[in-house]
Amino acid sequence: MEIITVIKDMQARSDKMRQEGKTVVLVPTMGFLHEGHLSLIREGRAYGEDLVVSIFVNPAQFGPGEDLESYPRDFERDLDLLRKEGVTAVFSPDAQEMYGENFQTFVELEKLPKHLCGLSRPVFFRGVATVVTKLFNIVKPHVAIFGEKDYQQLMVIRQLVRDLNFEIKIVGTRTIRETDGLAMSSRNTYLSENQRISALALNQSLQKAQELVENGQKDTFGIIDTAARMIRSHRETEIDYIAICDPETLDDMETIDRPARMALAVKVGKARLIDNILLKPKVSESNFKKRSRKADQ
Digit-coded pLDDT (tens) for 45-84: 999 999 999 999 999 999 999 999 999 999 999 999 999 9
Distance, in Å, from the CA atom of 114 to the CA atom of 182, rounded to the nearest integer, reads 26
Q: What dihedral angle (degrees, nearest 10) is formed by the CA atoms of 103, 90, 10, 49?
A: -140
Catalytic residue, from 37, 115, 142, 234: name it: 37
Query: By the 8 A CB rule, do 213 and 235 touch?
Result: no
What does pLDDT average to over the chain?
A: 95
- Note the pLDDT tens digit of each residue in 184-233: 999 999 999 999 999 999 999 999 999 999 999 999 999 999 999 999 99
Is residue 278 within 8 Å of residue 260, measured between CB atoms?
yes
Domain boundaries, the chain: 2-173, 186-279
Global pTM reads 0.93
Give the Cα separation of 199 and 209 in Å (integer). Answer: 16
Specify whether the CB–CB gap between 116 and 152 falls below 8 A: yes
Does residue 37 carry a catalytic annotation? yes
Give the CB-side neighbour count of residue 219, counting CA atoms within 13 A: 4
Q: What is the pLDDT of residue 291?
A: 52
Q: What is the DSSP letter of 219?
A: B
Instruction: Give the length of the chain.
Output: 297
CATH code of 2-173, in short, is 3.40.50.620
CA distance 13 to 50: 11
The reply to whether CATH 3.30.1300.10 applies to domain 186-279 is yes
**Of 157, 171, 173, the residue nearest 23 (C-alpha):** 171
